[in-house]
Amino acid sequence: MRSDLRELALGTLFPGFIGSFEPPDWVVRLAAEGLGGVVLFGRNVDPRRGDLGVAELTGQLRAARPDLLVAIDEEGGDVTRLDAAQGSSLPGNAALGVIDDVALTQRVAAELGVRLRTCGIDVNFAPVADVDADERNPVIGVRAFGPDTELAARHVGAWVLGQQGQGVAAAAKHFPGHGGTEEDSHLTTPVLRDSLEQVRRHALPPFRSAIKAGVKVVMTAHIVVPDVDPDSPATLSREIITGLLREELGFDGVVITDGLDMHAISRTIGHAEAGVRALQAGVDALCVGGDTVEPGRVEQMAEAIVDAVESGRLSRDRLTEAADRVRALAQWCRNADQARDSLPAASIAAKQAVRAHGEVTLTAPPLVLELWDGPSVAAGDVPWGVGALLAAKLPGTEVVRLTTDDSDVSRVLADHPDRRVVMCVRDARRLPWQVRAVQAARAERPDLVVVDHGIGTPSNVLGEHYVLAYGASRVTAEAACRLMVD
């Protein structure tokens, strides 16, 4: 009896693993015992071997159990795992939203789906269905399709259709909507202070669109919505998961948590208790993918789930339902039509999204100032900016990285008195030090070119000569570079 419960409990768990391009022994062992899936991160992608190495890794994982699900967080734009070493080959959602061509969004998602399937990946934690509703939000921003609810809904549905048409399950996130918060759930427990009616009107339509498109997975947010459930974050809230998502929106697929290692969970009630409470709330799959994952923690979570069933806290029927949904998803992935679409939609989208204003053409090697504020936890430390690309096209280009602790713009400009200056910014709308740096540079060099890799930078900061890249993906940086040099 207890061994049966352990197999069911393992079937709900999706851990990552650290420091290896091959599956460690404990992952292989747990996979054979019934593990639901694994989550790959940039740390598991060998930059020397790229997609081929990932395909070999997923093949090794499935040798342990053929129906093991392999998931990844490959949004494109700022959040990439496959391209973590060089920056994403896809434009991000903000760029696609600016173009507002749903057919193109579907093609981009299909193009990604082909690549993911070739790598042996079953589930992609995309699209972001959050609406960029609060410019102070530190974790969504360019990851969303935009601040307009209906626009976001159109593109979320298109993304689901494109990706799932290639046999890769999509995961709309972060339910019921993380875009209207002011904090990052990787670091704390954000609060969405909208009323339930405001949530229904502004945050839920993209999720409705995803469900209408047949999305297979919905990922929860570790945010509190007091007007719905003042006591628990959405991940642990029966009112939100069963009430809103299941009953009101009619979703009957797999509900997966955002990473339980995030501080909103791991530094409050902890992984094991969170796993039990999430299952009680109506969640089916427990993502434990971050840097805190280890075999002992996964075993602890499985043990806590078994204990909860035996003590009566969690019904066996609820646990069985969760594990069955995960198995059904694995079966869909094995049977899905894997048609191929090789249209170069990513490059087309990047070219359409990136916009120039004023005179941005460079005729000589410039001085490029890249303003770095450190990566978000969601995106990780992925290369961005146009400095390296301009240096390749215009040999002699000088690239200087400035941070909030070392942002003496006047000193750097004085060292390069005869060069035109290009300044790369990201998240300037919420980082006053970047605004000050741009204004200081423009005061000394009126022909300054600002390359904005974020969204929402005020026009008085951008000035007269600027390029809007709508995200930090490699492909949009390449398009921005072409506008300035080609």
Tell me the one-letter amino acid at 306. V
Return the SS3 of 439.
Answer: helix
DSSP tag of 42: G
Tell me the one-letter amino acid at 22. E
Q: Of the candidates 87, 155, 133, 162, which has an alpha carbon nearest to the alpha carbon of residue 370?
A: 87
Cα(279)–Cα(281) distance, rounded to whole angstroms? Answer: 5
Report the first-to-last Cα separation within the chain, whole angstroms: 68
Give the phi and the psi of residue 16 in degrees, each rounded to 5: -100, -175
186: annotated active-site residue: yes
Residues in the chain: 486
- Those residues with Cβ within 8 angstroms of residue 32's Cβ, 6 or more apart along the chain or in another chain: 64, 65
405: annotated active-site residue: no
CA distances, 278 to each of 222, 233, 237, 272 (Å): 11, 10, 7, 10
In this structure, the number of other CB atoms found within 10 A of the CB of residue 397 comes to: 21
Return the SS3 of 292.
Answer: coil
CA distances, 156 to each of 141, 175, 366, 446 (Å): 15, 13, 39, 40
Catalytic pick among 155, 174, 186, 271:
186
Catalytic pick among 130, 132, 258, 427:
258
Cα(458)–Cα(278) distance, rounded to whole angstroms? Answer: 41
Residues marked active site are found at 186, 258
